[in-house]
Amino acid sequence: MKIEQMHHVAYRCRDAKQTVEWYTRILNMDFVLAIAEDKVPSTHEPDPYMHIFLDAGQGNILAFFELPTKPEMGRDPNTPVWVQHIAFKVKDRDTLLAFKDHLEANGVDVLGVTDHSIFHSIYFFDPNGHRIELACPDPEEEAMLKRLDSVKWEMLEEWSQTKRAPKHADWLHAKELEKEPVT
CB 138 within 8 A of CB 118: yes
Tens of pLDDT, residue by residue over 119-158, are 999 999 999 999 999 999 999 999 999 999 999 999 999 9
Of 44, 17, 41, 45, nearest to 31 (Cα)? 17
How much is the pLDDT for 64? 97
Q: Where are the beta strands (DSSP E) in the chain?
A: 9-13, 30-39, 46-55, 61-66, 85-89, 111-115, 119-125, 131-137
The pLDDT tens digits of the residues spanning 73-83 come to 888 899 999 99
Confidence of residue 180 (pLDDT cuts 50, 70, 90): confident
**Residue in 121, 44, 47 with CA at minimum distance from that of residue 86:** 121
β-pairing, 85-89 vs 111-115, is unpaired
Give the closest residue to 134 by CA, choosing from 110, 106, 104, 163. 110
In the predicted model, what is the mean pLDDT of residues 23-49? 95
Question: Helix H segments across 34-151?
Answer: 93-105, 141-149
Distance CA 19, CA 66 (A): 10
